[in-house]
Structures are given as C-alpha cells and as structure tokens.
Amino acid sequence: MKELVQLFPAVLASDPPPSMPSIDSGGTAWMLMSSALVLIMVPGLALFYAGMVRKKNVLTTMMQSFVAMCVIGLQWVLIGYCLSFGKSVGGFIGFEWRLVGLHGVDWRAMVEGKGVPELVFVMFQGKFAIITPALIAGAVAERMKFSSYIVFIVLWTTLVYCPLAHWVWNPDGWLFKLGVLDFAGGTVVHISAGFSALVLALLIGRRRDYLPGVGGEGFAILPHNLTMTLLGAGLLWFGWFGFNAGSAVAVEFPVAGLSAGLAFATTQTAAAAAGLTWLVIEWRHQGKPTTLGLASGIVAGLVAITPGAGHVLPWSAVIIGVLASVVCYLGVRLKVRAGYDDSLDAFGVHGIGGLLGALLTGVFCVANTSNPGLVDGGWKQLALQCVGAGVGVLFSMLATLIIAAAIKAVMGLRVTDEQERVGLDTAVHGEHGYHMDVVS
C-alpha cells in the first residue's frame, strides 16, 4: 500500500469524502452499459441507411452517421448538456456556467436522487443527442453537401434538440411540468428528427434521377445491399434496449429497476409485433415478403414504443407494434403519391411512428404516471400527449425551415448535378466503397 501511495498520491488523495452521496453501483453499471448500447446504434444506423443507397454513395451515407459521433459528441460536452439539463430559465432553456464545457463538474458528483455520477448521466444523454440529427440524414441521402450537413447538425442540435430535451426531460421544463410523457424520446428524438427530415427533404428537392413508380408502386432507385440494412436493423434493435431500458435510470422514477424491466419487455414485444405485421402486410399487398420490409417494420415498432416503453404493459406493446407497422407502411407509401423524396424513410418511419407512439402512450399508459390512460377511462393524459406531440411537430418544422433556409442562402444545401451523377463517395471524399469498374 505504501508503494501505491508513492506512485499515485494524487489519485488516492482525491477519493470522495464519506459525506458525499453513496453511489448506486447497479444503476451506474446499467447506465454505463446503456450508453454503450445507444452508441452502437449509430454504426447500426449507418449500416441500415448505407444498404439502401447506391454503391456510389455508400461511404458518404455512413459518414453522415459517424461524423455525428464526433461533431455532436463535442457539441454536447461544450454546450449541449448545459442547454438541455442546466438550471432552467423560465422552463424553456437551461444554463449553468459550470456546465459549459463541463469545466465545473466534479468527477465525483452525483445526480441528485439517482445515485449515479453526473458524468455518466451526461454521457448517456449525449448519445441520444448524437443519433437524433443522424436520423435526419436519411431524408436527404445522396444529395446533401457534406459541409452543409455538418453545419446543419450543429445548429439543429443546439437550436432544436436541446430546447426540446429541456422542455420534456428537465424537471423544470414546461412540458415536463405540464405532465407530458416521453419515456425515451418519442417527441425529443423521433418526432423532432422525422418532421425536420420532411422539411429538409422538401427544401433540398428530389434526387436528380428519382422517379416515383407508376401507379404508386416501386421506385427508380433501388437498395444496393440489403444485407447491410438487415445487419443495421439488428444492431438498432440490440442497442434500443439501452435506449429505452436505460432511460428508466436516467429519469425520475422511484423504482428504476422495475421500470427498466418493463421498458426492456415492451421494447422487445413491440419490435417483434411490428416486424411480423409489416411482413404480412407486404406479403398480402405485393405478393412477396421482403427483407427491407421486415427491417422497416422492426424499426417502426421500436420507434413507436419509445415514448411509452416504461409506461405501458407488454400486451399494449403488441397493439402499438401492430399499429406502428400499419400506419408507417402507409406513411412510407405517401411519398410516392405526393412525389417528395424522403430517400430512406426518415419521416415515414421516425416522424410518423414517433407521433403515433406519443399519442398511443396517452391511450395505454398505466405505470409511472399520475394520469390513467384512455383504456382505463382517463382522457387527460391523451390530451397532454397531443399537446406535447403538437409542440414537437410545429417547433421542429419551423426551426428546421429557418436553419436550413439560412444555410442554403449562405453556403448551399445541395451538391452539384455532376457530383450527384458521379456519386458523392468519389466527388466529395475521393474514395470508393467498392473497387469496381462500374459504380451505380
């Protein structure tokens, strides 16, 4: 021991004094694991999206997810956490000087009432901030300037995601105080990303060779590697257990372990029900069950259960999963009828699925809420869910329109026609995902 003291005097001297709050080792371990699980969803999203584009854009599509880990990972530490979870200013935004760059956060400090180190909570929430703007990239795949994308995700996270996170998840946020439920990101993540994606897709326009299919069937641009998409869907499903069940410890619940178990069960159940439902619908409607349909259904179920994962029971999760696939299947086909190019269905799955899940939370909620759901005879929570979802839709769409329009005026949003024709892997990054003579 004497030798250790000589080698590491500063470390041993900085052990927390007995007066400091005791750590919840189980909760802390699960939060650390959940943070890693949520982060693995970002490479999962990269694979999921990359498999659906053409060979000439596979690297740039993956790059949009991976660069978010770096850019937003830094933004969150510098200012994002402060704006989201800092001391509330009127219930609308957070700010504490000690949280800027985390320069005043004691590494031994605990989150009040949780027994979890504050830095662990910071990192867990930061992973949500990373994946949310990366979801938006699916709506503008194969045609958005990389430099503009980086500027967009920084501004969007700062001006859209952080305020919404503060309103919904900060105990002093105005939607939190109102009683709006969002267990793990139905409004903050999926509604905000999905509806922002729709605005960005409309503003940037369709791909140069995108043509909706005749009679609303099929597309001119087909996925190049659905094995990647299936693998990505599997990683998303795997990571979603941290996304949802990890939120049981992150939020203010008196029995976090029980809530985590409930969220774990409903996440699995909704994803399974939704994947199977989409497969059956597609089989009946188009005559063939497809891998893309199965993957899309799984993600739709995961999205829809997110806002209510710790509030509803497993039997409700089955209904939510089935409805998610039905509604999102119709939502994905809407782009064919309307003629807009939501390239990888960011709006069709995340926007519509997130909105549906937020509303169904008000129908089926039974746990961790003071208001009974509609199935138990209560209407108040459903009304609150309508308010929260409506605010999320309107705020994210308006703010995205302003941010994207400003970027378009200053530096442009879209690559040149020649760059789009050649492919962004070569034109922008000077690389090839595949060594082939003909890249399509």
**Residue 436 confidence (pLDDT):** 59
Q: Residue ranges of the alpha helices (H) in 339-436?
A: 352-364, 380-410, 417-422, 424-427
Average pLDDT of span 212-239: 81
**Residue 217 confidence (pLDDT):** 43
Using pLDDT thresholds of 50, 70 and 90, give the confidence band for residue 220: low
Identify the residue with better confidence: 216 or 161: 161
Sign of the torsion angle spanned by Cα atoms 351, 354, 356, 359: negative
Q: Is the pLDDT of residue 3 over 50?
A: no
Residue 407, token pair as written in the block:
């970027």
Q: If you search the block for the tokens 């060979």, which residue do you land on?
A: 55
Range with the poorest average pLDDT among 7-21, 54-68, 141-155: 7-21
Check: CB of residue 45 under 8 Å from CB of residue 236.
yes
Q: If you search the block for the tokens 């089926």, which residue do you land on?
A: 364
DSSP state of 89: E
**Residue 378 confidence (pLDDT):** 85
Q: Is the pLDDT of residue 82 over 90?
A: yes
- The CATH code of the domain at 26-424 is 1.10.3430.10
Residue type, 358: A
Q: Is the pLDDT of residue 16 over 70?
A: no
**Residue 214 confidence (pLDDT):** 42
Average pLDDT of span 167-181: 96
Average pLDDT of span 263-279: 97
Check: CB of residue 70 under 8 Å from CB of residue 157.
no
DSSP 13-43: HTSPPTTSPPP-HHHHHHHHHHHHHHHHHHH
Average pLDDT of span 316-336: 96
Burial tier of 156 (Cβ tally within 10 Å: 0-12, 13-18, 19+): buried
Average pLDDT of span 117-143: 97
Query: What share of the chain in percent tops pLDDT 90?
Result: 79
Q: What is the pLDDT of residues 380-398, one digit of tens each?
A: 999 999 999 999 999 999 9
Average pLDDT of span 324-342: 93
Neighbours of 280 (CB within 10 A): 15
Identify the residue with better confidence: 90 or 215: 90
Average pLDDT of span 312-331: 97
Helix (H) or strand (E) holding 93: strand 93-94
Q: Is the pLDDT of residue 86 over 70?
A: yes
From residue 131, how far is each of 11, 35, 53, 126, 166 by CA, in Å?
Answer: 35, 12, 19, 9, 17
Using pLDDT thresholds of 50, 70 and 90, give the confidence band for residue 251: low
Q: Is the pTM of this model over 0.85?
A: yes
DSSP state of 147: H
Burial tier of 63 (Cβ tally within 10 Å: 0-12, 13-18, 19+): buried
Using pLDDT thresholds of 50, 70 and 90, give the confidence band for residue 17: very low
**In the structure, how many helices (H) and strands (E) does the chain have?**
19, 2
Q: What is the pLDDT of residues 346-381, one digit of tens each?
A: 999 999 999 999 999 999 999 778 788 998 888 999
**Residue 221 confidence (pLDDT):** 83
Report how far residue 424's alpha carbon sits from residue 59's, in angstroms, rounded to the nearest whole number. 8
Using pLDDT thresholds of 50, 70 and 90, give the confidence band for residue 60: very high
**Residue 5 confidence (pLDDT):** 36
**Nearest residue to 28 (alpha-carbon basis) of 105, 115, 94:** 115
The 3-state DSSP class for residue 430 equals coil
**Residue 22 confidence (pLDDT):** 80
Identify the residue with better confidence: 116 or 238: 238
What are the residue ranges spanned by the domains of the chain?
26-424
Calculate the dihedral angle through the C-alpha atoms of 319, 320, 325, 331, rounding to the nearest 10 degrees.
130
Angle, CA of 138, 281 and 227, to the nearest 5°: 45
Report how far residue 269's alpha carbon sits from residue 61's, in angstroms, rounded to the nearest whole number. 30
Report how far residue 181's alpha carbon sits from residue 309's, in angstroms, rounded to the nearest whole number. 10
The 3-state DSSP class for residue 222 equals coil
**Nearest residue to 302 (alpha-carbon basis) of 198, 378, 232:** 232
Q: Is the pLDDT of residue 168 over 70?
A: yes
Check: CB of residue 70 under 8 Å from CB of residue 83.
no
**Residue 21 confidence (pLDDT):** 61
Report how far residue 145's alpha carbon sits from residue 67's, in angstroms, rounded to the nearest whole number. 14
Sign of the torsion angle spanned by Cα atoms 252, 255, 256, 258: negative
